[in-house]
Amino acid sequence: MLQNKRFIFFGIIYLVVLTFFLYRLADIQLINTESFSKKGVNLVQESVNQRTQEVMIDDGRGRFVDRNGDPLQKQAEPSLVLFPFLKEAEWPSEDLSRIVGIPGNKLQEVVSDTKEPIVLSSKDGVSLTAAELEKINELEIPGVFGIYQQTKLDETIGEHIIGIVGENAEALRAKYPDRTDLSYKTKIGVTGLEEAFDEFLLPDAETKLLYHVDGDGHPLFGINVKYIADSNPFYPVTVETTIDKEIQTMAEDVLEHQNIEKGGLVLLDIENNEVLAMASKPSLNRSDSKTLSNQMLQPLFPGSIFKTVISAAAIEYGLDDPTRQFNCSLNLHGEADGGQDDGQLTFDRSFAKSCNYTFTTLARELMEKDQHVIEDTASKIGLIDPVGWNGEVFHYENFKQFPDEKTGNIWSDEKDKNVPRAIDQTAIGQKDVKVTPLSIANMMATIARGGQKQQVKIVKNILYKNGTKMYSFTSNSLEGDTITPMAAAKLQKLLRLVVTDSKGTGRRFQTSPMEVSGKSGTAQTGKSNDDDQTLYNKWFAGYFPSDQPKYALVVVEMDTTSAEAGTNAAFYDIVNEMSKIDERKN
């Protein structure tokens, strides 16, 4: 009896295991063949892929161009494709040689040593024209093709702007549950514009050359190569940015030349409030997560640049009496600690010299009048709130061109508004004050336009494959109150005085080829280097030419000693290079 029970028990176990394996086999071969596992793997397609050799011509994902239509990421590269079955056939290699400029025997060698299709382009010393590609295809040699292949540019620019893509099957399915046509290997945007415009950039179909092989790599169905092409006249789309490729390249070169290893710059076209260039350091490295963030969209301590806000508030509250003198031999708390020796200065010269005591005094007086005055004024000049373009785009109610942009901050604790020393620190851009470089550039552009606030734009249009417009991004005003034109005019004079005053913190720019107006900033970060030297954020922000403003620029170097900072030198170089570019264009 006991033996029978054991037999029945093990029999049941055997049947359960067998049933599981049979179900698993049915699941793989019959039930979920086109969407297996959480990744949604198409098993039928994968089995075909094991017996397929292919050349990807275009993965079908949308691309980015600059304001002039020049590619920023990928380009159509004229290329020669040779399939490996050529080594087993007689083919007119000499005819091909006369077109591509490679000896026939060399072409024969290339295909004799490979089991995969070979793609030769300019990086391999094969530079082809459109006419030559046409001649190659007119030869009608099986296994020989002249194509335009989408390839990455040798020198990529604006990497933090464009962002990165990656494969994540679960994230893909969660984000696009209705797009069952997408392969689990489809890449999605992770950062930057790749993330912001991901739904528009998703591939509709791939373009490729392929043929089928047996287990030994020999053609299964003869030597016919299939051309699989996307026939959709609308996709993939092109995202037309506001970036100027020449200016972006120059800006990145300047940062390298001035050894700015952490920080970056933002250059705006003031008239349209469009980004001409944006560069972030350290350079993007996919294997280092610390480099993925665009520093120009992260809140940073602004230091004395924030005195522009206090000045704007003082002007609007009538505290800018030109005859009033401030004792700038005192420190920010009104103490004579021997660290300052600037004597009595007016409001205007205090701004030019960046006297701390003047602005902490004014900040205390302003807070007595209105405890919201500092944040309200910061908002009026387009500094504290998100400034990147956002609005309704198709089914998106709040589409953002800068999804990674962070909101700035002034007060972390409302109680600090009643603490004199906390007000002092806030007035000079320390304590809890953090704003993004993008918003500082926007503030300078706002002042240069006479107080008119606008959203910052980095994309102008989304274009269909045939060149027609899918969507155009309008120039939008920033919501909320603005400073008066009179206040803006006074701020313009203050920013110019920073450069023209003999002791102004921006006097270096007196020799710039275009007149500069701006403000410097030095902010303590609370960090020290290995030599126990205090590290700062060093800034210069402004606009030029002063009389007819065209460009707003902010440069920041983070976590640097004052002696090593290349901020002013980089700003100077950008102004100089923009002068040359404008001269060439005119």
Write the pLDDT tens digit of every residue in 11-36.
Answer: 677 776 666 656 565 554 555 544 54
Q: Please state the domain count of the chain.
A: 2
Q: Are residues 208 and 250 in the same domain?
A: no
**Which amino acid makes up residue 444?**
M
DSSP 123-188: GGT----HHHHHHHHHT--TTEEEEEEEEE-SS---HHHH--EEE-HHHHHHH-TT-TTS-TT-EE
- 31, part of any domain: no
The pLDDT mean for the chain works out to 89
Cα–Cα separations (whole angstroms), residue 141 to 129, 146, 200: 19, 11, 38
Q: Are residues 436 and 463 in the same domain?
A: yes
pLDDT for 55 = 81
* Strands (DSSP E) found in 256-387: 263-269, 274-281, 326-327, 344-345
Q: Are strands 517-528 and 274-281 parallel, antiparallel or unpaired?
A: unpaired
Q: Which residues pair with 522 in a beta bridge?
A: 538
Q: Are residues 348 and 272 in the same domain?
A: yes
Containing domain of residue 559, as a range?
A: 245-585
**String of b and e for 354-379 (b: at least 16 CB within 10 Å)?**
bbbbbbbbbbeebbeeeeebbbbbbb
Q: Are residues 166 and 301 in the same domain?
A: no
Query: CB-based burial of residue 221 (10 Å sphere; 0-12 exposed, 13-18 middle, 19+ buried)?
Result: exposed
Q: Could you report the per-residue pLDDT of 356-385, keeping only the tens digit for each?
A: 999 999 999 999 999 999 999 999 999 999
Last residue of one domain, picked from the residues 170, 202, 234: 234
- Categorise residue 559: left if φ over 0, alpha if ψ from -120 to 50, beta otherwise: left
Q: Are residues 228 and 293 in the same domain?
A: no
Q: Are residues 349 and 390 in the same domain?
A: yes
CATH of the domain at 213: 3.90.1310
- 18, part of any domain: no
Q: Which residues contact 565 (CB under 8 A, 6 or more apart)?
A: 536, 538, 557
- 30, part of any domain: no
- 48, part of any domain: no
In this prediction the pTM is 0.89
Last residue of one domain, picked from the residues 208, 234, 260: 234
Last residue of one domain, picked from the residues 234, 262, 288: 234
Which of 79, 93, 304, 311 is the catalytic position?
A: 304
CA–CA dist 36, 44 (Å, integer): 10
- 111, part of any domain: yes
CATH of the domain at 286: 3.40.710.10
CA–CA dist 429, 300 (Å, integer): 10
Nearest Cα to Cα of residue 431 among 341, 345, 303: 303
- 39, part of any domain: no
Q: Are strands 63-65 and 238-241 parallel, antiparallel or unpaired?
A: parallel
* Strands (DSSP E) found in 160-262: 165-167, 187-189, 207-212, 226-228, 238-241
Percent over 90 (pLDDT), the chain: 69
- 9, part of any domain: no
pLDDT for 45 = 42
- 29, part of any domain: no
Q: Are residues 281 and 390 in the same domain?
A: yes
Q: Could you report the per-residue pLDDT of 279-336, keeping only the tens digit for each?
A: 999 999 988 989 999 999 999 999 999 999 999 999 999 999 999 999 999 999 999 9
Q: Is 304 one of the annotated active-site residues of the chain?
A: yes
Each of the 586 residues of the chain gets a pLDDT tens digit; together they read: 556 666 676 667 777 666 665 656 555 455 554 454 554 444 344 444 445 677 888 889 999 999 999 999 988 899 999 888 888 888 898 999 999 998 988 988 888 877 788 899 988 888 999 999 999 999 998 888 899 999 888 788 999 999 999 999 999 999 999 988 888 889 999 999 999 999 999 998 888 887 765 555 555 444 567 777 777 889 899 999 999 999 999 999 999 999 999 999 999 999 999 999 999 999 999 889 899 999 999 999 999 999 999 999 999 999 999 999 999 999 999 999 878 889 999 999 999 999 999 999 999 999 999 999 999 999 999 999 999 999 999 999 999 999 999 999 999 999 999 999 999 999 999 999 999 999 999 999 999 999 999 999 999 999 999 999 999 999 999 999 999 999 999 999 999 999 999 999 999 999 999 999 999 999 999 999 988 899 999 999 999 999 999 999 999 999 998 778 999 999 999 999 999 999 998 7
Q: Are residues 226 and 272 in the same domain?
A: no
Q: Are residues 83 and 137 in the same domain?
A: yes
Q: Are residues 445 and 504 in the same domain?
A: yes
Q: Are residues 364 and 479 in the same domain?
A: yes
Q: Are residues 502 and 568 in the same domain?
A: yes
